[in-house]
Structure 1
Amino acid sequence: MKKLMTLALAAAMMLGAATGASAIDFKAKGQWIMSFDYGMHGNFSESKAKNNSGFKNEDEFEARQRVRLQLDAVASEALSGTVFFEIGDQIWGQDSTGGALGADGRVVELKRAYIDWMVPQTDLKVRMGIQGLALPSFTTNASQIFDDDVAAVSLNYQFNENVGLTAFWARPYNDNAGYKSSDAGSTKWDNYMDNMDMFAVLLPLTFDGVKVTPWVMYAAMGPGMFDNFEKAPGNAWGRASAGMISGFKGTDWNDSYGNAFWAGVTGEVTYWDPFRIAWDVNYGSASYEDQKMNREGWLASLLLEYKLDWATPGIYGWYGSGDDSNPRNGSERMPVVSANGNNDFSNFAFNGNPYIAREAVLGTTMVGTWGIGARLKDVSFLEDLKHTLRVNFMGGTNAPKMAKYVRDGYNEFASEWGNKRGINTYYGVGTNDPMYLTTEDYALEIGLTNTYKMYDNFTVMLDAAYVALWLDDSTSTWGKNPGRSALGGDGVYDAWNVNLSFVYSF
């Protein structure tokens, strides 16, 4: 009898566990991308690998793929958990990315992992963990200051239909220095005070035909944040933090506390629909004990567009402050944490491609540049087939005199690593800061994007883009051979690329 009672109790416990488990609703999302690129001169010069492509030593033709899988465990409207994995980018045939014969590379990445919950008896929403965060942007749809995955705690509260509030604390860097040194008998321990913490408050305001979001953000950087910067500027932490400093030679990386502040007002007016006006105005500063490390600047953009039945024509422009002719007072370019969003103004010159393709040949952000552009977006004469044509003309806002700090190796990093592409561009990787362009340098971008929705969940995209670059060859700027002086090559070559992508999303 006791055995029967024990078995019944065990069965009841198992049934209760199964009942509890069934209360969790699991939802899956995902995306597969197969991408094929063919192009040349992605860094506007001959490739060091002599493959004549210029895409950071890539071949002229390359095939790659990426898989993203997201799993949501939803207990209720008040509680859920999310894990988001990414496999790739895998270059076909490349062993290090798992694309070679055998395909056994360890390339599964944790992109996001967080929990969502609500404070009981309130409408306050809380998200904790590695998540996607971005400052607002109504023109480019991608913040030029901060738009990336980061470990953070974010809060969201909607007071009423007109006023909301979002706040977050994020920790993008900590424990990355990784070395010891002794100085006069004292020991500097690994990773001591090398953290960076960011705090932001956003106030989204929504009215009839008008949206406005003012915001502020502050960042505190410990004195050890740059301890290992000289030894490893090419790692992920070093490249990303590049947008927070001036990059001019003679700076003291060690024992320098840093404080950064940003503020902006972004918004759009759709009151006169189908006419739309959007704007972004951003300001930022980063200060250190050594003022040669300082950065302070602004970036503003404006978009005007009119939605028709068959397309949306639009014109837009932007302007970002640039360096003056004095390197001793730091940089006059706006500091950038990490701008990793899809810039709607450009698919190729900046990082605007919606899938995986060659992009950002000028850089990931528009700081230190100006530009005007026109586009004809989502042109459609046949069902499920759309086209977008863009033409952008742009230039730099940095003083021509500053070119010598790149041209002659006066930059802190250009002289040591031989990279003269731009003051804050390491190993040819343009993170956070675009190619260093002066007021005498110009570029032209032409791009055509075609998308065909073959099935409800399957899209084929054909994207073609071309960027021409003109660098000033006067002796006061880049010199007689601007390609060799500014790019480390044998001349300036126009960059172009054609991408064909097949995308399955669910």
Structure 2
Amino acid sequence: MKRLLTIVAAVLVLAAAVCAQAATEVRMTGDALVYGNFFANRNFTGWNAAKWTSEAGTIQHAGTRTEDQFEIWERFRLRTDFIANEAVKFRLGLKVEDTWGHGTLTAANPTVAVEVYQAYLMFKWPGCDIQISAGLQPASIPQASFFAGSIVFDENVSSLIIVAPLIQDHLNMILAYVRTISSDRTFAPTTEQVYANEEGYMLALPITVEGFKATPWALFGVGGKGGHYLTEAGWAEGLISSGLFTMAPVGWKNNFITALWAGTTLEITALDPFKFYGDVIWGQHGMNEYRKNVRNGWFIDAAAEYTGLDMLTPQAFGFWSTGEDNSTRNGSERMPNFFPGSGRGGEHNGGTQNWNAGNSFLFDGGQELVKGSNMGISPLGAYGFGASLNNVSFIEKLTNRLTFAYVHGTNSPKAIRYANFVLGSNPIFQMGRDLTEKEWVMGLNLDSKYMLYENLALILETGWAHPSEFQKSVWGRRLANKAEDAWKVSFGLKYTF
């Protein structure tokens, strides 16, 4: 009977689609990835990083699990646009992703896991060019286009976005509302009125004139101390100060926790083929909190490239950010950001990724073979520089990119040492991701793409990372003594349609 009902339901859905086809145009696009990934010494140890196991702050400590160095990943994404006319459409994005032999891709009794990763309505307000979109959609803070994504926030998220042209072709206004967490949905578990949501309000003003682009922006955020940031959201370590858990009174002071970010992007093409890019960002989380809970800091990046050569594009980049000082009582000096997970552990949530330069193996963002793709080193609490030879092509249909990057910490060892003493290994500070001012990492990656057909690519991504000696007094002898070079080789196919 159950099977019969399933067949009947499928027939009804198909019939409805056929009827809708007369009035609605349906367009499908998507991509498929199949690739093998060899990754040795994730987290520089081959052991797991620490992660939260409860909202009370309990932790699965680092070095309790060992890695499987070879995996075969498969991902299929389908984006379907239901277009009523040029002004109104709805997009539905579905995704299946897992390793061969696990979950959905198990030979016997597979676990069916089809994820909806986009579902949003787009339309123009009648009689004008104001564009409105609402639903689960890509949303990011503005960042210079040289970098892979925003270091503050860059994800598929439930949101309302309004884009209004103020001066045609020169000035737009972007208004956005996002709700990242609604932990209790309709009813809270008690009658204490504890706020359990997190939301943000953004204003951006993209400015474009000949040879110059800039986007000043500001983001105001409100979170509740009842929100499930640690185990459900998975990005709390990018927002909180270690003082939240390491100093009395433990936890948040207020029911509502406020945050504010502001910055601007810059892009200069007036000297083409020389092009310049940059960002200046300031942010503070926990503005109304105990001083120990406040996280406040700066991030600056810059890049340049020369696009006047046919066979390659030389690029250079650098960045700097504030780091922890030697006190925990005054909060954190790192800029807060939404840190949804690290590609180095193969557990990235699969949305859009974070900031990167030159597709570096060190940072989490930009890689096409996404899972287990990088070391996930944080640019916050660090400075660094690098250079790339991009779009290198001496053979038809084959392109390459070679990137070197160096990262040096700006965090005081004392602040991290204290957090590790109180909590043990923890997600707020992780060896190899968060560097002290006495630690550095350098990395090299070579990435190649060969177009077998117009829409089918053969991709090779390689990476190598070498750390300085990690401080035993900060991270403990067990982890620090285990540290060694990390490297990966990923090879596979990407089909787009």
- Partners of 1:58 and 1:104 in 2: CA distance: 23
- Partners of 1:276 and 1:439 in 2: CA distance: 32
1:306-385 to structure 2, matched below 5 A, reads: 306-307=306-307, 308-338=309-339, 340-341=352-353, 343-352=356-365, 353-363=367-377, 365-385=378-398
Report the alpha carbon displacement of residue 470 of structure 1 after superposing the two structures with TM: 1.2
- Partners of 2:242 and 2:152 in 1: CA distance: 18
Q: Which residue number corresponds to residue 240 of structure 2?
A: 245
Q: Does 1:165 align with 2:170?
A: no
- Partners of 2:463 and 2:65 in 1: CA distance: 17
Match of 1:456 among 454, 459, 479: 454
- Partners of 1:370 and 1:337 in 2: CA distance: 19
User: CA distance change for structure 1 residues 106 and 324 in 2, over 3 Å: closer, same or farther?
Assistant: same
Q: Which residue number corresponds to residue 283 of structure 1?
A: 282
User: CA distance change for structure 1 residues 314 and 56 in 2, over 3 Å: closer, same or farther?
Assistant: farther
SS in structure 1 of the partner of residue 105 of structure 2:
coil
- Partners of 2:359 and 2:293 in 1: CA distance: 30
User: CA distance change for structure 1 residues 47 and 245 in 2, over 3 Å: closer, same or farther?
Assistant: closer
Report the alpha carbon displacement of residue 33 of structure 1 after superposing the two structures with TM: 0.3
User: CA distance change for structure 1 residues 221 and 280 in 2, over 3 Å: closer, same or farther?
Assistant: same
Cα displacement string for residues 255-286 of structure 1 (whole angstroms, at most 9, x for unaligned residues): 52211100111021111111100001111001
For normalisation by structure 1, the TM-score amounts to 0.83
1:74-89 to structure 2, matched below 5 A, reads: 74-88=83-97
Q: Which residue number corresponds to residue 142 of structure 2?
A: 136
User: CA distance change for structure 1 residues 18 and 92 in 2, over 3 Å: closer, same or farther?
Assistant: closer
Task: Tell me if structure 2 keeps the 8 A contact 1:71–1:84.
Answer: yes
Task: Tell me if structure 2 keeps the 8 A contact 1:376–1:390.
Answer: yes
Task: Tell me if structure 2 keeps the 8 A contact 1:42–1:56.
Answer: no
Task: Tell me if structure 2 keeps the 8 A contact 1:32–1:66.
Answer: yes
Q: Which residue number corresponds to residue 297 of structure 1?
A: 297
Report the alpha carbon displacement of residue 472 of structure 1 after superposing the two structures with TM: 4.7
Task: Tell me if structure 2 keeps the 8 A contact 1:467–1:496.
Answer: yes
Q: Which residue number corresponds to residue 10 of structure 1?
A: none
Q: Does 1:423 align with 2:428?
A: yes
Report the alpha carbon displacement of residue 367 of structure 1 after superposing the two structures with TM: 1.1
User: CA distance change for structure 1 residues 500 and 176 in 2, over 3 Å: closer, same or farther?
Assistant: farther
Q: Does 1:70 align with 2:79?
A: yes
- Partners of 1:201 and 1:361 in 2: CA distance: 33
- The range that moved more, 195-204 or 337-346, is 337-346
User: CA distance change for structure 1 residues 85 and 424 in 2, over 3 Å: closer, same or farther?
Assistant: farther
Task: Tell me if structure 2 keeps the 8 A contact 1:349–1:359.
Answer: no
User: CA distance change for structure 1 residues 87 and 19 in 2, over 3 Å: closer, same or farther?
Assistant: closer
Letter in 2 for 1:491: K
- Partners of 2:222 and 2:333 in 1: CA distance: 20
Task: Tell me if structure 1 keeps the 8 A contact 2:142–2:265.
Answer: yes
Report the alpha carbon displacement of residue 119 of structure 1 after superposing the two structures with TM: 1.1
- Partners of 2:109 and 2:395 in 1: CA distance: 40
- Partners of 1:435 and 1:278 in 2: CA distance: 25
Q: Does 1:98 align with 2:104?
A: yes
Q: Which residue number corresponds to residue 4 of structure 2?
A: none
- Partners of 2:180 and 2:75 in 1: CA distance: 24
Q: Root-mean-square deviation (CA), in Å? A: 2.5
SS in structure 2 of the partner of residue 328 of structure 1:
coil
- Partners of 2:181 and 2:38 in 1: CA distance: 36
Give unpaired runs (5+ residues) of structure 2. Answer: 1-16, 50-62, 341-351
Task: Tell me if structure 2 keeps the 8 A contact 1:35–1:356.
Answer: no
- Partners of 1:290 and 1:128 in 2: CA distance: 36
For the pair shown, which has the larger CA radius of gyration, 1 or 2? 1
Letter in 1 for 2:442: L
- Partners of 2:64 and 2:281 in 1: CA distance: 31
Q: Which residue number corresponds to residue 265 of structure 2?
A: 266
Q: Which residue number corresponds to residue 201 of structure 2?
A: 199
1:366-445 to structure 2, matched below 5 A, reads: 366-407=379-420, 409-410=421-422, 414-415=423-424, 419-420=425-426, 423-424=428-429, 435-445=433-443
Match of 1:494 among 467, 485, 497: 485
Report the alpha carbon displacement of residue 246 of structure 1 after superposing the two structures with TM: 0.5
User: CA distance change for structure 1 residues 255 and 166 in 2, over 3 Å: closer, same or farther?
Assistant: same
Letter in 2 for 1:106: V
Letter in 2 for 1:461: I
Task: Tell me if structure 2 keeps the 8 A contact 1:145–1:336.
Answer: yes
Q: Which residue number corresponds to residue 212 of structure 1?
A: 214
- Partners of 1:387 and 1:369 in 2: CA distance: 28
Task: Tell me if structure 1 keeps the 8 A contact 2:241–2:332.
Answer: yes
User: CA distance change for structure 1 residues 142 and 355 in 2, over 3 Å: closer, same or farther?
Assistant: same
Report the alpha carbon displacement of residue 253 of structure 1 after superposing the two structures with TM: 2.3
Letter in 2 for 1:354: E
SS in structure 2 of the partner of residue 299 of structure 1:
strand
- Partners of 1:86 and 1:99 in 2: CA distance: 13
Report the alpha carbon displacement of residue 292 of structure 1 after superposing the two structures with TM: 1.1
Task: Tell me if structure 1 keeps the 8 A contact 2:469–2:480.
Answer: no
User: CA distance change for structure 1 residues 338 and 399 in 2, over 3 Å: closer, same or farther?
Assistant: closer
Report the alpha carbon displacement of residue 34 of structure 1 after superposing the two structures with TM: 0.3
SS in structure 1 of the partner of residue 106 of structure 2:
coil
Task: Tell me if structure 2 keeps the 8 A contact 1:203–1:215.
Answer: yes
- The range that moved more, 133-142 or 144-153, is 133-142
Letter in 2 for 1:236: E
Task: Tell me if structure 2 keeps the 8 A contact 1:483–1:491.
Answer: no
Cα displacement string for residues 161-198 of structure 1 (whole angstroms, at most 9, x for unaligned residues): 111111100000112599857xxxxx536xx4111110
- The range that moved more, 244-253 or 61-70, is 244-253
SS in structure 2 of the partner of residue 448 of structure 1:
strand
4+ aligned runs moved over 6 Å, structure 1: 17-20
Task: Tell me if structure 2 keeps the 8 A contact 1:35–1:357.
Answer: no
Q: Which residue number corresponds to residue 11 of structure 1?
A: none
Q: Kindly, what percent of the aligned residue pairs are identical? A: 27
Q: Does 1:126 align with 2:132?
A: yes
What is the number of equivalent residue pairs in this alignment?
A: 446
SS in structure 1 of the partner of residue 176 of structure 2:
strand
Report the alpha carbon displacement of residue 62 of structure 1 after superposing the two structures with TM: 1.0
Task: Tell me if structure 2 keeps the 8 A contact 1:224–1:255.
Answer: no
